[in-house]
Structure 1
Amino acid sequence: MPEHSDVIIDAHQHIWDKSRADYPWLTQELAPVDRVFTFDELRPQLDACDVTATVLVQSADNLEDTELMLACAADEPRVAGVVGWVPLDQPDRTAELLERWASTPVVRGIRNLIHDRPDPRWLFRDDVREGLALLERSGLTFDVVAVLPDHLEAVLDLSERYPDLPLVIDHLGHPPIDLDGPPDGSEPWWDLFAATAANPRVRAKVSGLYPTGDGTAAQRTEEVRRVVDHAFTHFGADRLMYGGDWPISVLHGGYGITWDSLRPLFDGLTPAERTAVLAGTATAFYGLDPQRVAAAHAD
């Protein structure tokens, strides 16, 4: 396998196709991304940014979306891993699917769209907790879509209740990018996000950070610097991973400007730290197949 310093792994990508799966959240209000997005469209953008491989992450709470990603992974060597779906509130079905994914090595984790559920404390439900216990025993990871304080509180609870379940907070838990001034306690993200770092099994993705407005890449860098610095202070580089969040990033200028806005923050790290954020953390957390990553790198 090549040295991690030669590898960039994008730990948060999506594909979707409404003819293959149901995406209730994908409506005309999101017109620029309300269409089919395939890996063929993503590939040249990865090339332009020297990204070696990606992790595909579920976009819908249904089996068809996971099967779409698996079909892509079967044809595309640059897909190093898939974060799929199981119905955590249906323990019997969860057990069945986890057994299926155990024989599908490219499946490295599970995610549910908890932020789209009416109950912000869905992860605290007894039936969901039974499903999470099964997930903990499976050896797979869990991506947490945290957009509310309740979601970060759930991470705190899960990290204590399921100590052997590796957790990753997507998009740094939706930080308050557009609030001016230093954290003063009025915005709970600062303290809650820092508290989640107390458990060494928790990771976070430097992804999905979109300031309001259409600034240049350099302007975006400065707008997100404060929250990214906060993440590095509490998690350290070896527990953070880069994610491009395509094609959601299309709503905010596209893959290139997203990468260009984050790259200066990574370039300011030590070589070891940069290697961790851009490849090492994702590889270790998801247990990515080194041969698959090496093949993607060679390709």
Structure 2
Amino acid sequence: MIIDSHQHFWKYEPLKHVWIDDEMANIRRDFMPEDLKPIYKEDNVLGCVAVQADQSLQENDFLLGLSKKHEFIKGVVGWVDFRSKEVEKYLEAYCEEQKMKGFRHVVQGEADHNFLLRPDFLNGIDHLKKFGYTYDILIFPHQLGATLEFVKNFPDQKFVIDHLAKPYIKDGFFEGWAAMMKEIAKQENVYCKISGMITEANYSTWTPEQLKPYMELVLETFGPNRLMYGSDWPVCLVAGKYSKVKEVVTDFIAELSSNEQDAIMGKNAMFFYNL
């Protein structure tokens, strides 16, 4: 039973999706459930968690609306402004939405390296546990130091690091990223998504062997019970087909026990997001 813990839908708008640069021109179009469903059927994927790609309340409504029409969308990770004094009101408004599972902020896009540690942001995150929501941490490696302090502030909050914190695979940088990930993994409430790797490598020349050290590090430190498979579809399409993304992970974990493989490929996501 495979659950894709990380993918996106959007109706492409150049201003809204400005992060899709010229190198990613082939995903400058709409990507909707009708596009993903046949891919899941072909790759034996039962369902997914749809993650926000735009920081707006309208994005939440868009994803929740899709989840009501398509049963395979098992959960939604949305967005609210955690810096707002009304953050609790916003979070409470989604309590009746069974498929709203958690939230994230595009911290990787913030110029302030210590954005996660701003008092107003910390105050907003403090409200998540009350409602049982999760939080996805989207960062670059240079933000890992702040992330370590951030997660230590909330030992009872469920966190997951998206895309292995986007290590600089293309440049071959490893040691600094690895040292910080080892420290963060000591926090037992923090999970990690094995996702988004091929787009951190060279789009056209990446190999599974280049990705292996990064996967080995998170498997060793987080363990098989705190890792989740994610495709990052359709972003992954700039560097490879869905089946290839899935194959990288399934080949890597092939020597683990069947229970451990099942955990990484679906059961951990079901537990973390309460699907």
Which runs of structure 2 are paired with 1:203-282 in the superposition (5 Å)? Answer: 203-210=191-198, 211-215=201-205, 220-282=207-269
Structure 1 unmatched ranges of 5 or more? 1-6, 289-299
Maintained 8 Å contact 1:22/1:62: no
Which runs of structure 2 are paired with 1:83-102 in the superposition (5 Å)? Answer: 83-92=77-86, 94-102=87-95
- Rounded to whole Å, the distance in 1 between the matches of 2:207 and 2:37 is 24
Maintained 8 Å contact 1:221/1:264: no
Which runs of structure 2 are paired with 1:35-184 in the superposition (5 Å)? Answer: 35-92=29-86, 94-150=87-143, 152-178=144-170
Structure 2 unmatched ranges of 5 or more? none
Distance 1:145 1:264, change over 3 A: same
SS of alignment partner, residue 253 of structure 2:
helix
Which digits, 9 at most, give the CA deviation of each residue in 1:140-169, with x for residues without a partner? 00000121322x223312222112211000
- Rounded to whole Å, the distance in 1 between the matches of 2:238 and 2:208 is 17
Distance 1:220 1:28, change over 3 A: closer
Residue in structure 2 matching 1:198, options 174, 183, 186: 186
SS of alignment partner, residue 4 of structure 2:
strand
- Rounded to whole Å, the distance in 2 between the matches of 1:213 and 1:31 is 13
- Rounded to whole Å, the distance in 2 between the matches of 1:154 and 1:138 is 25
Q: For the aligned residues, what is the CA RMSD?
A: 1.9
Maintained 8 Å contact 1:145/1:169: yes
Q: Which amino acid aligns with 1:227?
A: Y
- Rounded to whole Å, the distance in 2 between the matches of 1:23 and 1:139 is 30
1:266 to partner: Cα distance: 2.2
Provide the TM-score with structure 1 as the length reference: 0.86
Q: Which has the higher helix share?
A: 1
Distance 1:53 1:124, change over 3 A: same
- Rounded to whole Å, the distance in 2 between the matches of 1:28 and 1:65 is 24
SS of alignment partner, residue 52 of structure 1:
strand
Maintained 8 Å contact 2:141/2:167: no
Provide the TM-score with structure 2 as the length reference: 0.93
- Rounded to whole Å, the distance in 1 between the matches of 2:20 and 2:238 is 13
- Rounded to whole Å, the distance in 2 between the matches of 1:96 and 1:35 is 34
Distance 1:160 1:180, change over 3 A: closer
Q: Which amino acid aligns with 2:194?
A: V
1:214 to partner: Cα distance: 2.2
The worse-fitting range, judged by mean Cα deviation, of 157-166 and 54-63 is 157-166
Maintained 8 Å contact 1:149/1:192: no
The worse-fitting range, judged by mean Cα deviation, of 227-236 and 259-268 is 259-268
Which digits, 9 at most, give the CA deviation of each residue in 1:64-123, with x for residues without a partner? 11111111100000011100111011131x212211111111011101111112222211
- Rounded to whole Å, the distance in 1 between the matches of 2:142 and 2:191 is 17
- Rounded to whole Å, the distance in 2 between the matches of 1:41 and 1:213 is 22
- Rounded to whole Å, the distance in 2 between the matches of 1:27 and 1:65 is 20
1:47 to partner: Cα distance: 1.3
Number of residue pairs matched by the alignment? 273
